[in-house]
Amino acid sequence: MKKSLFLIVCCTLNALLLTGQNRTVIICGNLIDGISETARANTVILVEGERIVRVGTRDLIAPGDSIVDLSGYTVMPGLIDMHVHPNLNVSDYQISHLKGSSAHKALVGLKAVQDLLAAGWTTLRVAGDGDVGYANMDIRDAINNGLFKGPRIYGAGHYLSISGGGGDINFLSHEQELIPDGLIVDGPEEMRKAVRREIKYGSDWIKVLVTGAFMSAGDNPNNVHMSSEELKMAVEEAARRDVPVMAHAHAAEGIKMAVKAGARTIEHGSFIDEEAMNLMIQHGTWLIPTLSVSTYYEGTEDAYLQKAKEIRKQRKESMYRNYQLARRKGVKFGLGSDFVGWPAPYSGNEFAEYLKLGFTPMQAIITATAVNAQILKKETEIGTLEAGKYADIIATKGNPLDDISEMTRVKFVMKGGEIIKNEGL
Ligand SMILES: [Zn+2]
């Protein structure tokens, strides 16, 4: 009796394993898996629950499977944007955090991250955000708790800035002491406290503004704002909690200081020189140049952005030459757009800019998927399409290897096995 019961249990288990439950098979026209340097034809992806079980051929299809036919599409891993600010508003970002409550910011930011998800960005890293509180962490927690659909979110609550730096408000009189969008930190001990506070309220990255910025009023991206003592403290204190540091740095000297202090990524790196490139290669630091944001303010008449527009005009050619040289020398690149509230498909323009730096379309896509996952230390979970990974899968109608602008027209999005968007299928 016991033996036959055992057999029945075994057979049932076997049948479940063979036919599975919640099995979805995605038929891929063209597959970019994030690993191979070439696309593959005639493949299917078997998804069970929230994970990929197998990538193989059509003989994986079993009776009862739900089929998603993407045979006319190019299928690839969900995109990862390493630099977004869902709570910022490009036209008045330095004061927009004062206009709405943190609750309001959470609603606005939720809409922004959902739009990014629908555009193919299944994972985001927030590079500090424009809220007095921690709305972006609330958005992340609400999504992770299943209250709302949205992308995977990592990142920092705020950018840490010195007094008078890019995270401060520098255009009002001293009688008007308003709360700035950044967290103001002066000296190593204030840095220690700020890092601890950021982590306490949910940041899993620390963001520091090492140099001045393009977009903020009253500061200069050529100036190095933070001292090496402050930077060292930021990295050391964050490391105690296994939290990496992303360093906004335009001026070459600021890049070098951040690399030496142990930052994991350099954001922007606009005025990088060869010495800084060599240091980045030596330390294995990633560069995230965030090119979309500059192309955005190139065309704007917005008064707030005239400073950024002017610097961009003067330095654009030398910046692109620097990035091209950095790539040729072997500096490791990640990919992030610096999303600041523009219409979501805009972030996909980052890929076309990478081609100008000398990346092939395939290299740019692998950077935005497998490489970005590695920077996040999530490479066992996301970034490629292979067995065991989350089923974060997107598709375009045309082939982005032939026309990279396809990356701004993502037609199909699945996150963790759930179909988020299925346009025209
Ligand atoms: Zn930014």
Q: Distance between CA atoms of 192 and 343, rounded to whole angstroms? A: 37
For residues 155 and 125, is the Cβ–Cβ distance under 8 A? yes
Among all chains, which residue has been given the structure tokens 């990974």? 389
Secondary element (H or E) of residue 396: strand 393-396
Handedness of CA 57, 62, 66, 69 (dihedral sign): positive
- Give rounded-to-5 percent helix, strand, coil for the chain: 40, 25, 40
Long-range contacts of 355-360 (CB under 8 A, 24+ apart): 355/404, 356/320, 357/289, 357/320, 357/323, 357/324, 357/327, 357/333, 358/324, 358/327, 358/328, 359/327, 359/333
pLDDT at residue 187, as a whole number: 98
Distance separating alpha carbons of residues 136 and 118, to the nearest angstrom: 18
Cα-to-centroid distance, 317 and ligand 1 (Å): 21
The burial of 282, by beta-carbon neighbours within 10 Å (0-12 exposed, 13-18 middle, 19 or more buried), is given as: exposed
CA of 199 to the centre of ligand 1 (A): 19
Distance from Cα 167 to the centre of ligand 1, integer Å: 11
Cα-to-centroid distance, 338 and ligand 1 (Å): 5
How many residues does this entry show for the chain? 425
The Cα 66–Cα 53 span in angstroms is: 14
Integer Rg of the chain from CA: 23
Pairing state between β 159-161 and 183-184: parallel
Q: Which residues contact 252 (CB under 8 A, 6 or more apart)?
A: 271, 272, 273, 275, 276
Whole-number Å distance, alpha carbon 101 to ligand 1 midpoint, is 21
Distance CA 267, CA 209 (A): 9
Distance between CA atoms of residues 280 and 285, nearest Å = 5
Residues with CB under 5 A from ligand 1 (ion): 127, 338
Distance 215 CA to ligand 1 centre (A): 9
Residue 216, pLDDT score: 84
How far does the centroid of ligand 1 lie from the alpha carbon of residue 39, in Å?
32
Residue 401 carries which DSSP code? T
* Dihedral sign computed on CA atoms, order 160, 164, 170, 174: positive
Give the model's pLDDT for residue 9.
43
Domain ranges for the chain, please list them: 17-78+384-422, 79-375
Instruction: State in Å: Cα 182 to ligand 1 middle.
Output: 12
Question: How many A from CA of 214 to the centre of ligand 1?
Answer: 10
Phi, psi of 140 (to 5 degrees): -55, -50
Report the separation in Å between the CA atom of 155 and the middle of ligand 1, taken as the mean of its atom positions. 12
The CATH number that domain 79-375 falls under is 3.20.20.140
How confident is the prediction along the chain (425 residues), in pLDDT tens digits per residue? Answer: 444 444 444 434 444 444 556 899 999 999 999 999 999 999 999 999 999 999 999 999 999 999 999 999 999 999 999 999 999 887 777 888 888 899 999 999 999 999 999 999 999 999 999 999 999 999 999 999 999 999 999 999 999 999 999 999 988 888 888 899 999 999 999 999 999 999 999 999 999 999 998 888 888 999 999 999 999 999 999 999 999 999 999 999 999 999 999 999 999 999 999 999 999 999 999 999 999 888 887 777 877 778 888 888 888 889 999 999 999 999 999 999 999 988 777 899 999 999 999 999 999 999 999 999 999 999 999 999 999 999 999 999 999 999 999 999 999 999 999 999 998 77
Question: What are the backbone dihedrals phi and psi of residue 138, each rounded to the nearest 5 degrees, phi first?
Answer: -65, -40
Return contacts of 106-110, CB within 8 angstroms, 24+ apart. Answer: 106/135, 106/138, 106/139, 106/142, 109/135, 109/136, 109/139, 110/139, 110/142, 110/148, 110/150
Torsion angle (degrees, nearest 10) of CA 288, 333, 323, 356: -100
Q: Which CATH superfamily is domain 17-78+384-422 in?
A: Urease, subunit C, domain 1 (2.30.40.10)
* 407 vs 425: CA distance, rounded Å: 18
CA of 9 to the centre of ligand 1 (A): 55
CB 236 within 8 A of CB 247: no
C-alpha 397 to ligand 1 mean position (Å)? 30
* Cβ atoms of residues 373 and 41 within 8 Å: no
For 183, which DSSP code?
E
Ligand 1 centroid, distance to 83 Cα (angstroms) = 6
Count CB atoms within 10 A of the CB of residue 67: 12
Ligand 1 centroid – CA 404 distance (Å):
24
Cα(400)–Cα(335) distance, integer angstroms: 16
